[in-house]
Amino acid sequence: MRSEEAPGDDDGRRIGVGVVGLSASGGWGAGAHLPAMAEAGGFELRGLVAGSEASGRVASQVHGAPKYASVEQLAAADDIDLVVVTVKTPRHRELVLPAAAAGKPVFCEWPFAVDHREAEELASAAAGLHTFVGLQGRSSPTFRWLADLVAQGYVGTVLSATVLSSAAEWGSPVSERELYLLDRDQGAAMLGIAFGHAIDPVLMVLGELRDVVATTATRRPEIPLGGTGRVVPMTAADQIAISGSLPGGAVLSAHQRGGTASGPGFSVTVDGTEGTLVATAADHPHIAPVTVRGARGGLPLATLTPPTGYDAFPGLAGSPIHTLAHAYAGIREELRGGARLVPDFAHAVRRHRLLDAISDSAATGRRIALPAEDGV
């Protein structure tokens, strides 16, 4: 699974990109997607859609790309080869569908949809197209190396895996524009964002869960509305605990915690018949550096260093766009006829199926079976 990507690779066939949700005042589109494209190489911003005519005009001036009044017009432009959707999850459907109808490849941020049913609808509409979803933890050099370590038998037969993921959000004060994150029905709560990003690269390493049983809770039903002295209701779960079986019978347990006073953090421990691997990050693992320790033969854990060949962008290590740059390099290669390295809409459906199964299990107390499917 080593990456063959080359930093700044550009064979002259630049990929024309149109970004939906690109602002002149910051945000993930301007602050992460554009720099990641620039680092990956081979991309050119050729259009944008903003939230209003006025904001589009300013964004066009700042980013040097024409504004379009709608995603339909953007996707219909002859020089647009890839539509990137970087807006809030509840709006993904209305934007992905017309882009797919135009027959253009689409990169949609994660969470992909508000639920599994909507994810299936979007994936079906884009069938036959190149599609990409923003689960960039799968593009992490460290997690790809971990997957190889496990596959090559570093721990022997996997016995268990334990995941602990923490988020400062879903308990800390929110702004008016973040209120949708507190609504469990908007697809962008802690289950989708924090837990989805944490569990996805772990399952790339270990394989998809075959079943799941879950307990969730909302321990903070009211959250401070920053700067107002008021509180607002939260229906999203801020505690999520699951267990399930992995291919071959190993057991995975995971606990996602929200509103932790000590801030975010992540760890996964993989125990096997021959050894142990522990990966940790001080923040969410799809944006923060991940450290790996390992032990075999009864020796104490020691820091392991990845061999060369996994990290195409070592100069970005420690930056929030490190994994996203690797994702864009993978997108570039696929659009030029290479292998698929980046999760697509079908994978997003698979992940939303797991999230919905967790919600169903928590509501009913039942263990939910999941279909056996190959991952990305």
Say whether both 128 and 214 belong to one domain.
no
- Give pLDDT, residue 372: 83
Say whether both 100 and 189 belong to one domain.
no
Residue 243 has pLDDT above 70, yes or no: yes
- Give pLDDT, residue 19: 98
**CA-CA distance, 95 to 72, in Å (whole number)?**
8
Omega before 111 cis (within 30°)?
A: yes
The residue that leads in pLDDT, 272 or 262, is 272
List the CATH number of the domain containing 271: 3.30.360.10
Among residues 75, 102, 136, the one where a domain terminates is 136
Say whether both 153 and 228 belong to one domain.
yes
- Give pLDDT, residue 51: 86
Residue 356 lies in a domain: yes
The DSSP line for 230-270 is EEEE--S-SEEEEEEE-TTS-EEEEEEEES-TT--EEEEEE
Q: Residue range 75-98: average pLDDT?
A: 98
Q: Residue range 34-55: average pLDDT?
A: 96
Q: Residue range 199-219: average pLDDT?
A: 98
Q: Residue range 31-58: average pLDDT?
A: 96
- Give pLDDT, residue 375: 45
Residue 2 has pLDDT above 60, yes or no: no
- Give pLDDT, residue 12: 60
Domain residue limits at 166: 137-310+344-369
Residue 55 has pLDDT above 80, yes or no: yes
Residue 184 lies in a domain: yes
Say whether both 198 and 283 belong to one domain.
yes
Task: Report residue 201's pLDDT band, with 50, 70 and 90 as the boundaries.
Answer: very high
Residue 153 has phi, psi (to 5 degrees) of: 90, 20
Say whether both 158 and 115 belong to one domain.
no
List the CATH number of the domain containing 92: 3.40.50.720
Q: Residue range 156-179: average pLDDT?
A: 97
Residue 113 has pLDDT above 50, yes or no: yes
Residue 127 has pLDDT above 70, yes or no: yes
The residue that leads in pLDDT, 246 or 7, is 246
Residue 45 lies in a domain: yes
**CA-CA distance, 232 to 230, in Å (whole number)?**
7
**CA-CA distance, 293 to 290, in Å (whole number)?**
10
Say whether both 23 and 63 belong to one domain.
yes
- Give pLDDT, residue 374: 52
Q: Residue range 60-70: average pLDDT?
A: 96
Residue 109 has pLDDT above 70, yes or no: yes
**CA-CA distance, 137 to 326, in Å (whole number)?**
10
Residue 375 lies in a domain: no
Number of domains in the chain: 2
Residue 5 lies in a domain: no
Q: Residue range 238-252: average pLDDT?
A: 98
Say whether both 168 and 86 belong to one domain.
no
